[in-house]
Amino acid sequence: MKFSKNSALIVFLFFLTGISVFAQDFDIKNYDIDITLKDNGALKIKETIDVFFTKAKHGIYKDIPTRYTIDFQPNLEKARYKLLQNDLLTMPISGIKVHKHPYKLDPQDNYLRIKIGDADETVEGNQQYIIEYEVDNIVAFYDNHSELHWNLIGEYWKARIEKATYTIHFPKPQTDTQPITYTTFTGSAGSTNNNAQSTWLNERTLKGSITQPLEQQEAWTVNLFLPKDFIPYEKGDESFLAKRFVVKNYDTHYTLNKDGSTDVTLTADLKFINTVHSIKLDIENFDAERSFGISGRWLNDHTYYPIENVKWQGGTQDADDPFTIHFENVNAGDERHVQLNYTLKGNIIADADNADYSRLLFRNNNYFLGEPILSSKTTITLPLSATMTKWQANVQSSFNGQNLTSRTEGNDIIIESKTPVSGKDNFYQPSVSIPNHAVQSPSLGTSLQRWWMNNDWLFYPLLLLLFVIWIWYKKDHHDYAAVLPSSRHDSRRSRCFD
């Protein structure tokens, strides 16, 4: 494939949308790509792949890169994108559909994997896979034009592709004064070959096909050069960072009870960009500063406190894992309101910096898999006036506290983010300490439960020791019983020992 002179233009030469089977033993008889360039610059793609399996396999998977770091060259014009953070380009994949085959989405840090097939069934011979999806934030905008570089077929195929075709539909026709130009390349990375032919069907439809098969790990790239303002530039927001859904509103309410426990309610309005069957929240119930017992800090920096009464609303709670919620008939574009309730116990400790005060322990995170949050609010309800407490809106160094607004209303501390939030760790963490008289100390039962959570491993060596003692005891008594009959006087044996 040929690379553009400006590396800012060639990012999508590396955007390799590859499909691989779970193992080899297959051929691709025909690969058709139908692309619609939307007037907002997104690509709506439909791929039809005819695969011939020479051995029984479960199916195929498709990896679509979702993030790429651009290495801009000095002294060259720097392209603009809808959303670019520290030269890290994020391409959202949405509206995924797979015809007539079951599939699952497996989001990774830098790509989205679509697993197509049934783990309990195998297929062989001729199989057709039809995949639809949409990709955004891929057009590079310059002062006098815009560019789009797309790998029609990525170079990660470990199979021979006998035939391949593409069709690109443009949102409006080209003109003599504003033509659309293109180039295509085939072969391995760095190749300048072009074993393909393309032609305009009309002023807004471009079609092409390869003239000879693509061998293993050979790709087919198309580069489009569009007139200025053919695609209008518009700035994107953090919703581009979503992989499965966007959290439109995220509210967390902590209610500190007189007995020292804390009731927590997480509510979220989710807008799905792809089909989602379930969501698991990894709620954190630990502290990194205080040890509850002997061993907690020996193992790691986390010491735990109990979490109980977990209950979901807005879906079906998993029977085995209460922090997982399942959905039915949720597709791209759908919205759901979900709510998770749980109770923290024993999450009160003496405040080392303020005498006669106790600090409330809780982890205020983006628990929704790090998906972007467009609006967030945290409310902390206390058993006394908030003006009698010592609190900070944020003690998390990775979050810019200037993006927060905070206030007190009666017994409530209310904290809101003025900007969208993305990423699991990039979230604000309030700190609250209250007078000791405001709540009871953790009960003996809660204290013992908390201690056991952090120290139960101490009993494993003890159990092993008891087991060794038991084995020794059984063996010793068994040997003693066997010797007893020989304890009668036997002059010959006595003499033998002499």
Are 421 and 429 in contact by the 8 Å Cβ rule? The answer is no
Please state the rounded mean pLDDT for residues 86-100: 91
Collapsing DSSP to helix, strand or coil, 36 comes out as: strand
| Interval 184-219: pLDDT, tens | 999 987 788 899 999 999 999 999 999 999 998 899
In the predicted structure, residue 301 carries a pLDDT above the cut 70: no
Residue 407 CA to residue 131 CA, distance in Å, equals 49
Domain range list for the chain: 7-236, 245-453, 462-497
Contact 401, 451 (CB under 8 A): no
66 has pLDDT over 90: no
Average pLDDT over residues 338-363: 91
Residue 304 is predicted with a pLDDT of 81
Can you read off the two tokens belonging to residue 282?
Answer: 């990894």
* Common-topology check for domains 7-236 and 245-453: yes
pLDDT at 298: 45
Can you spell out the DSSP letters for 210-225? ESS-B-TT-EEEEEEE
> At residue 486, does pLDDT exceed 50?
no
Task: Pick 280 or 243 by higher pLDDT.
Answer: 280
Q: How far apart are CA 362 and CA 200, in angstroms?
A: 61
Asked if the model's pLDDT at residue 163 lies above 60, the reply is: yes
The distance between the two most distant Cα atoms of the chain, rounded to a whole number of Å, is: 125
The whole-model pTM stands at 0.75
CATH class of 7-236: mainly beta
For residue 86, what pLDDT is reported?
Answer: 84
The answer on pLDDT for 6 being more than 50 is: no
Q: Where are the beta strands (DSSP E) in 361-472?
A: 376-381, 390-392, 404-409, 412-417, 431-435
Q: 158: pLDDT confidence band, cut at 50, 70 and 90?
A: confident
Q: How confident is the model at residue 456 (pLDDT cuts 50, 70, 90)?
A: low
- Residue 135 pLDDT > 60, yes or no? yes
Model confidence at 97: pLDDT above 90: yes
Place of tokens 């553009």: 4
pLDDT of res. 346: 86
Q: To 10 degrees, the CA torsion angle through 330, 334, 335, 336?
A: -10
- Where are the strands (E) in 228-354, listed by range? 245-256, 262-272, 278-280, 286-287, 303-304, 307-313, 316-317, 324-326, 335-344, 348-350
As a whole number of angstroms, the distance between CA 91 and CA 63 comes to: 13
Do 231 and 146 form a contact (C-beta atoms < 8 A)?
yes
Helix or strand holding residue 465 (H, E): helix 459-483
Q: Is the pLDDT of residue 22 over 70?
A: no
> Taking residues 55-76, what's their average pLDDT?
85
- What would the mean pLDDT of 224-239 be, rounded to a whole number? 92
CA distances from 134 to 50, 192, 236, 322 (A): 21, 28, 16, 33
Q: Flag whether pLDDT at 5 surpasses 70.
A: no
Q: Look at residue 13 and tell me whether its pLDDT is greater than 50.
A: no
Under 8 Å between Cβ of 442 and 454: no
Which pLDDT does position 302 carry in this prediction?
Answer: 66
3-state secondary structure at position 473: helix
Q: What is the mean pLDDT of residues 296-322?
A: 82
Determine the pLDDT at residue 292. 55
Quick: pLDDT tens for 415-439.
Answer: 999 889 887 557 999 999 999 998 8
pLDDT at 449: 72
Percentage, residues of the chain above pLDDT 90: 52
Q: How many CB atoms lie within 10 A of CB 278?
A: 13
- The answer to whether 47 and 32 have CB atoms below 8 angstroms apart is yes
pLDDT at 485 over 60: no
Q: What is the pLDDT of residues 330-341, one digit of tens each?
A: 888 899 999 999
Which class is 245-453 in CATH?
mainly beta
Contact 195, 187 (CB under 8 A): yes
Q: What is the pLDDT confidence band of residue 409, given thresholds at 50, 70 and 90? A: very high
Please tell me the distance from the alpha carbon of residue 18 to that of residue 92, in angstroms, as a whole number.
16
Average pLDDT, the chain: 84
